Amino acid sequence: MSITITVGTRPSRLALKQVEEVGLQAQQKIPGIYFKVITIATDGDQDKTTAFSLREGSDFFTRQIDEALIKGDIDCAIHSAKDLADNLDERLSIAAITAPIDQHEVLISKGKCTLEQLPRGVIIGTSSQRRKEQLQKYRSDIKIVDIRGNIEERLALLGTAPHLDAIVIAAAGLIRLGLEHRITQRLCPLRFAPHPLQGRLAVLTRKDDIQLQKIFSVLDTRNKSEVGK
């Protein structure tokens, strides 16, 4: 079997690594599958000012790619699973949700101090409302600010933003980019519960594309009762 699949994804280095990861997993299960990758900038890539906490649950990071899929410009879309909109377009189907490589939230600090070691009044940047609430509950003395951008841009803020002492992000992206060494501390998941889809990737197809849904089903880690939702 030999099949070339046109995949749509965001233009970031992390997004391309995610496509590569899915491609390798698919080739291990079904040899002869090849990906042709098309990058598509989304609202989330172009709008660097709107706080992501105001767009959680929306298609902020997926809309333009999903529109290209609906039009037939691409065969499937690969997203970070937690970026999926709460209300998926009825013309699309989630063909697979992959296993996570790591679901921890992690702290990266300037002085390599853990969350417990950071002095009172420090400023921590994050992009998630859930993380903000968890940090505030754990240490009410912390000042929390919104940060935006891809992983490399957020890491760069620690060197360029004088007011920023640390950031909290997902471990999975750092691992995929070979930046795991930047992690200061993996936060306890009992106190800092991750998004249930953190670290997982989602493969979307058109709802009527039964062939691709069957191909990607070999990567799906959901319970049988969840498949097709």
Whether 23 and 95 share a structural domain: yes
Contact 199, 40 (CB under 8 A): no
pTM for the full predicted model: 0.90
Mean pLDDT of the chain: 92
Is 58 within the bounds of a domain?
A: yes
Whether 27 and 76 share a structural domain: yes
Whether 75 and 120 share a structural domain: no
Is 194 within the bounds of a domain?
A: no
pLDDT at residue 158 is higher than 80:
yes
Q: How far apart are the first and last CA of the chain?
A: 28
Is 225 within the bounds of a domain?
A: no
Residue 147: which of 135, 130, 164, 133 has the closest Cα? 164
Whether 30 and 90 share a structural domain: yes
Whether 90 and 11 share a structural domain: yes
Is 195 within the bounds of a domain?
A: no
Contact 98, 25 (CB under 8 A): yes
Is 227 within the bounds of a domain?
A: no
Q: What is the pLDDT of residue 53?
A: 64
Residue-wise pLDDT tens digits, 24-34: 999 999 889 99
Whether 15 and 77 share a structural domain: yes
| 207/80 Cα distance (integer angstroms) | 19
pLDDT at residue 55 is higher than 80:
no
Whether 11 and 93 share a structural domain: yes
For residue 120, what is the domain's CATH number? 3.40.190.10
Is 135 within the bounds of a domain?
A: yes
Residue-wise pLDDT tens digits, 174-201: 999 999 999 999 999 999 999 999 999 9
Is 9 within the bounds of a domain?
A: yes
Is 79 within the bounds of a domain?
A: yes
- The whole domain housing 33 covers 3-99+200-219
Whether 89 and 35 share a structural domain: yes
Domain count, the chain: 2
Q: Sheet of 92-97: strands edge to edge?
A: 33-39, 3-9, 76-80, 201-206, 92-97
Whether 8 and 95 share a structural domain: yes
Whether 39 and 127 share a structural domain: no
CA atoms within 13 A on the CB side of 80: 26
Q: What is the pLDDT of residue 52?
A: 67
Q: What is 93-160 written as a DSSP string?
A: EEEEEPPPS---EEEEETT---TTTSPTT-EEEES-HHHHHHHHHH-TT-EEEE--S-HHHHHHHHHH
pLDDT at residue 1 is higher than 90:
no
Residue-wise pLDDT tens digits, 87-144: 999 999 999 999 999 999 999 999 899 999 999 999 999 988 899 999 999 999 999 9
Residue 84 burial class via C-beta count within 10 angstroms: exposed 0-12, middle 13-18, buried 19 and up: buried
Whether 69 and 146 share a structural domain: no
| 82/195 Cα distance (integer angstroms) | 7
Whether 95 and 208 share a structural domain: yes
Q: What is the pLDDT of residue 228?
A: 42
